[in-house]
């Protein structure tokens, strides 16, 4: 593949947008067959999958340090994280459109899976806002500290998924994969400090 395509951020964002466009198209064209349940489920799944991909970048980079593809992933990690947030925001927007009532939304806020979902979104918001070069330069060392919020936000995201699922098996499997990613990351970072 030509280098210009591999390094094209617009092309990457087009690829990242395709599942969202597909969700929107199916919901608009076949609302009875696809419907709210599929739209909210699929948008949530994509938010979680992209979050996992974002968090897998560091351990992959530590394992395959000299590979070009890991360098590419490191350069695009923020794009993956922002895309995850966009799908999470879309997931939330679908929920808000469906409820269409501030009173109903506030009443459901006490439901555990709704509450942790809102907290996760609130934690991701400053991360998405500061996922740009200007913020990295201005915040300097504070940028890394701020972006450690991704860890509690990820835990809350997967709690939201487990508690909201009709069958939580798939959510638990994904939570296990995320835990494995983080165990590998911590292990590799500690080993690197020792050597």
How many CB atoms neighbour CB 45 within 10 A?
A: 18
Token pair belonging to 74? 């490191």
What pLDDT sits at residue 67? 87
Q: Which helix (H) or strand (E) holds 161?
A: helix 150-164
pTM of the model: 0.92
- What is the chain's pLDDT, residue by residue, as a tens digit (195 residues)? 566 666 788 999 999 999 999 999 999 999 889 989 999 999 999 999 999 999 999 999 999 987 889 999 999 999 999 999 999 999 999 999 998 888 999 999 999 999 999 999 999 999 999 999 999 999 999 999 999 999 999 999 999 999 998 889 999 999 999 999 999 999 998 888 776
Q: What is the DSSP string of 91-128?
A: HHHHHHHHH--HHHHHHHTTSHHHHHHHHHHHHHHHHH
How many CB atoms neighbour CB 158 within 10 A?
A: 23
Token pair belonging to 90? 């879309």
What pLDDT sits at residue 120? 97
Contact 116, 163 (CB under 8 A): yes
Q: Scanning the structure block, which residue is given the tokens 């936000």?
A: 153
Contact 68, 1 (CB under 8 A): no
Give CA–CA dist 36/8, Å, rounded.
Answer: 34
């Amino acid at each position: 593949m030509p280098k210009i395509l591999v390094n094209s951020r617009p092309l990457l964002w087009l690829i990242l947008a395709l599942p969202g466009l597909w969700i929107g198209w199916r919901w608009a064209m076949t609302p009875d067959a696809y419907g709210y349940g599929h739209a909210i489920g699929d948008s949530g799944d994509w938010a979680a999958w992209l979050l996992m991909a974002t968090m897998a970048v560091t351990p992959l980079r530590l394992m395959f340090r000299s590979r070009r593809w890991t360098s590419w992933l490191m350069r695009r990690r923020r794009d993956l994280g922002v895309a995850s947030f966009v799908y999470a925001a879309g997931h939330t927007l679908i929920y808000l459109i469906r409820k269409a009532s501030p009173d109903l939304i506030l009443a459901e806020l006490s439901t555990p899976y709704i509450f942790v979902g809102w907290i996760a979104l609130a934690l991701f918001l400053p991360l998405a806002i500061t996922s740009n070069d200007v913020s990295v330069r201005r915040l300097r060392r504070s940028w890394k500290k701020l972006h450690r919020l991704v860890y509690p936000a990820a835990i809350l995201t997967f709690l939201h998924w487990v508690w909201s699922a009709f069958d939580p098996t798939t959510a638990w499997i994904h939570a296990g994969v995320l835990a494995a990613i983080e165990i590998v990351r911590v292990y590799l970072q500690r080993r690197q400090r020792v050597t």
